[in-house]
Amino acid sequence: MNKGYIEIRKLYLPKSCAVAALDWMYHQGKKHKEGVALFAGIRQEGSFYIKRTIIPQQYAGSFNEGLLYVVEGAELHRINVELFDTGMHLIAQIHSHPTEAYHSDTDDDYPIVTVLGGVSIVVPNFGNGGLNVSEWALYRFYAETGWTLLTQKEKIKFLILVDDESPQLQTSKKPSKFWPWG
C-alpha cells in the first residue's frame, strides 16, 4: 500500500510561500470570498521542503449558509502536469474561512490533496491575521481517522517556517504586499 506522506515528520514552509498564499486569501477576503492555494515541493526522507505556492484558477461564492471555493478538474490536471515537469509534488492545500478555522464537511468531502499524510491548513478571518501560524488549523489525512486536526504542540513540531534561501533574488521584482497589508 502506498504510504504517501505518512512518514513526513517535518514540513518546511518558506515565509515567502506562506505570504503568497496569505496575500491571495486576503485579496479574496476583501470581496468576502474564500481563497485556496497549494504548496508544492520536494521530499527528502522524513522531511518535505515546500518550494512553491500555486494559486489555482478557482471559483468562490456562497452556498447555503456558507462560503466555498471550487477548483475544477481541468485546472488540477494542468497543475499536475506542470508539477510533473518540474519534479515537484503537491503536499498541502491552504484555504481561508471568514471566521473560524476548522475543516468543514465540504472540506472533508472535497479536498484537493488526497494523498495519505497530506496536509490541509485552514486560516481564519480571511487571512487578516497574516503570518500567525498559531491561529491556523492544520489537518493531516490518515487512513483510519480521515482528516485529523493536529494539536498546537504537534503542529509546531511539524510545520516549520523558514526564511527564504536567497531573498536577494527577489529584489528585481516589484515589491509584493506583505502583512500587515497597509
DSSP string for the chain: ---TTTT--EEEEEHHHHHHHHHHHHHHHTTT---EEEEEEEEETTEEEEEEEE----EEEEETTEEEEE--HHHHHHHHHHHHHHT-EEEEEEEE-SS-----HHHHHS-S--STT-EEEEESGGGTT-S-GGG-EEEEEETTTEEEEPPHHHHHHHEEEE--S-GGGGTTSPPPP-SS--
Query: Is residue 97 exposed (0-12), middle (13-18) or buried (19+ Cβ within 10 Å)?
Result: buried
Min. distance of Cβ 22 from Zn ion in angstroms?
Answer: 16
Binding status of residue 125 toward Zn ion by CB under 5 A? no
> Of 12-20, 102-110, 125-133, 168-176, which part binds Zn ion (CB under 5 A)?
102-110
If one asks whether residue 23 binds Zn ion (CB under 5 A), the answer comes out as no
In the complex with Zn ion, which residue's Cβ is closer, 14 or 93?
93
Q: Which is nearer to Zn ion, 20 or 123 (CB)?
A: 123
Residues 48-87 within binding reach of Zn ion (CB under 5 A): none
Bridge partners (DSSP) of residue 19 are: none
State the nearest-atom distance from the C-beta of 29 to Zn ion, in Å.
13
Q: How far is the CB of 83 from Zn ion (least distance, A)?
A: 23
Give the binding range for Zn ion (CB under 5 A) out of 71-79, 96-104, 111-119, 172-180. 96-104
Using rule CB under 5 A, residue 104 touches Zn ion? yes
Mark the segment that binds Zn ion (CB under 5 A) among 12-20, 35-43, 86-94, 98-106: 98-106
When asked if residue 107 is in the footprint of Zn ion (CB under 5 A), the reply is yes
Least Å from the CB of residue 127 to Zn ion: 13
The binding site for Zn ion (CB under 5 A) comprises 104, 107
